[in-house]
Structure 1
């Protein structure tokens, strides 16, 4: 490569400043993450995976589409994909002229509650997170069909209302957009003027990428404490870029990583099964070592901000509860099932905290700081039937 060496840190500062002119992001960490994501799109072949960038909000008019417009000016070969089919996308990624960066606006029309499951598109987005990801399709007519593997690995940024499927959310850097406050001002984005400015930055990012490629290839950046597994996969490429860029970007990138990973965990209720386990631990069986199914259902369905009172139009019942809990195992490697509980002269079916403790430890997030939960009571001395009866049915004692 010939020409002047580009200062990576200064260039990232310019990319961040370009976003700040037109976008109001919810936190400083978001500006850092988005600028690094723009740069990473020019270096996908250096990494084992690419995070999805997701601009999400609860209401329209929150700046999601504008954020995607600005990203479009900065990434290589942008492909705007509204309502694009999975077949069109994986054929585009296989284009011999170069891999696109897919920008998917109004993603809620694809994965929203009225849009169906769209498993084919979900599979494409999931597979394309990894460099080895491929999509298999039959090619040809009639009996002459053959199976062909289409590469799926590409950069993807999306914008939409609500949330994405869990399998995509865990592969994403999520920016929770919100409407601008009355005192927040941004410059109006005029495509005829500002696209050219963005393209100049894009071209310089491409030049810096070639300059930095040899340093980034094979880099294994140090992760902040507590960032492991999937979040580490998501952030690895961005931290590697920050380290090579230098300046204050390595420190800012790791602070942004911790900020956004923590926020993601706070917003993540996990699967419905994990939400059930967590609610049982933190709200239903606190300080109680066993509880009849009827009491569990009553308490779950009474929880505010919980899905149990309206699961597809019906409250959680004992059959659904049993089906969900048998998916998890006790410490003795047996399915979690209801057992007899003696109470005030009768025997009822119910669940023991001891049976749930192993699942709580393996699947649930840490309990609220300082909170007394039934996870600790599971290891304590089992209460007598009379004490349980007095706790559950005080009017009967």
Structure 2
């Protein structure tokens, strides 16, 4: 080609394309045999991917984790095909797994209802002075007997030593009337306890889910307004008393699968009047009094947070350093109280034993005083039994219709039966439920001048002897 023969780039490209067509690559026979094969006689499973190819659990979990981060629309667009790719998993199963991961992500990213305390920077060598400080704070704000202050102080320390306990007594803050400082004491205790979660009302499902999720020290105010009508709530509080039976089982999810929830934890409740006997039996009663007119008590809102925060920090450090010491303590339990009361007080006496002889003596005095009062009190069922005994004696009869029994029980408006049912008089069903534990049931009776369902005196004879003083 001469220098005058100029070929443009497009023409050069066309020429090269033409050359490649004119001069195809020709392979030698040996090359041809090496590079070609006839697959027509082989099964398609060799050529195509296996239909039953198994996805590893790690890859499946990574896929589910990714799906959990998608928007609702994005997930709907992918869920069916993705389920097929995961070894033909059902879409319903995939939905459940993705929902589980989403719930976990939400619980980790949402703001916690409780706050963990940073332990004190140095070892707490004088824990007795910390206990004394807590007791003094209670005395500055609450009108109550010394036994209540001592018990409340030890209970606060107990919340930092849950792993050392086998029984966790409920702190039952009560008073005969309003304006006795129940909410004040509840607030003070929550500001000094570990992982506090205060509430003025709570449902059963919220209760067991909160305990399972947060492992809090729970503070429930005004429990008297709803506890008697909520058997589920009573059952959860009862179950959380001992490590021997710490679980409740509830059906959850779309398939109502039974799931165990661990409800063992510290709980303080407050209210006016009585609570169910099963709760009283698992509680330490902190009964408050209305202050005298000449008494002056400080307001909780003026208590500096840096003081309570420092106490919490010291308790966090001391409990970390002395958990095993408290667990190994073997105090002598008072023989004058019943077995359940001994169980309730054991962890408090363990702590008092570590605090020193002075606090151990205070704890023993408080134990005997408070438990003695508790032992003298009748349960709700026993009180009804005693009142029915009185009614039979006053009427001089051996049988009574339920309608007449209710009228007699509610004749005195100051008695609890006239307001037992949400401010209304007790019902026949509630009387039957309270008496069922004594194996006493209503029956059809004929009395003059009317007939109906009621009770006979001879059915009460055994219960009167066994349960009434």
- TM normalised by structure 1 equals 0.70
Contact 1:49–1:129 (Cα < 8 Å) also in 2: yes
Partner of 2:379: 270
Name structure 1 gaps, 5 residues minimum: 338-348, 367-397
Match of 1:393 in 2: none
Is residue 2:342 matched to residue 1:261? no
State which of 139, 146, 149 in structure 1 corresponds to 2:252: 139
Deviation for aligned residue 1:165: 2.1
Alignment equivalent of 2:169, drawn from 51, 65, 79: 51
- Distance, in Å, in 2 between the alignment partners of 1:151 and 1:57 is 31
| Structure 2 segments unaligned to the other structure (5+ residues) | 1-118, 444-454
Q: CA deviation at 1:169?
A: 1.9
Counterpart-to-counterpart distance in 2, 1:323 and 1:90: 25
Tell me what 1:340 maps to. Answer: none
Name the larger-Rg structure: 2
Structure 1 residues 73 and 293: CA distance shift in structure 2, 3 A = same
Which aligned pairs between 1:305-384 and structure 2 lie closer than 5 A? 328=438, 351=457, 359-364=463-468, 366=469
Distance in 1 separating the partners of 2:260 and 2:305: 35
- Aligned 1:1-397 pairs, distance under 5 A: 3-25=122-144, 27-95=145-213, 99-111=215-227, 117-131=229-243, 132-142=245-255, 145-190=256-301, 193-266=303-376, 268-272=377-381, 274-275=382-383, 277-278=385-386, 292-293=398-399, 301=408, 328=438, 351=457, 359-364=463-468, 366=469
Q: Distance in 1 between matches of 2:164 and 2:223?
A: 28
State the Cα distance separating 1:107 from its structure 2 match. Answer: 1.7
Contact 1:291–1:350 at 8 Å: present in 2 too?
A: no
Superimposed CA distance per residue, residues 208-260 of structure 1 (whole angstroms, 9 cap, x where no aligned partner): 22233112225443221321222122211111111121131111111101111
Q: Measure how far apart 1:327 and its partner are.
A: 6.2
The CA deviation at 1:177 is 2.2
Q: How many residues align?
A: 336
Q: Structure 2: how far apart are the matches of 1:327 and 1:165? A: 13
What's the TM-score once normalised by structure 2's chain length? 0.61
- What is residue 73 of structure 2 aligned with on the other side? none
**Structure 1 pair 234–311 and aligned structure 2 pair: CA distance change class (3 A):** closer
Deviation at 1:29, TM superposition (A): 0.4
Change (3 A) 1:270 1:159: closer
Return closer, same or farther for 1:307/1:33 CA change in 2, 3 Å cut-off. Answer: closer
User: CA–CA distance in 2 between the matches of 1:82 and 1:325?
Assistant: 31
- Contact 1:56–1:162 under 8 Å retained in 2: yes
Contact 2:276 2:379 (C-alpha < 8 Å) held by counterparts: no
Structure 1 pair 178/324, CA: closer, same or farther in 2 (3 Å)? closer
Distance apart, 1:275 and its partner CA: 3.1
Let me know the Cα RMSD of the aligned residues: 4.0
Q: Distance in 2 between the 1:12 and 1:37 partners?
A: 11
Structure 1 residues 281 and 215: CA distance shift in structure 2, 3 A: farther
Separation (CA, whole Å) in 1 of partners of 2:277 and 2:370:
16
> d(CA) in 1 for partners of 2:247 and 2:426?
40
Preserved CA contact (<8 Å) 2:124 2:317:
no
Matched-pair contact (CA < 8 Å) for 2:199–2:219: yes
SS of match in other structure, 2:304: helix
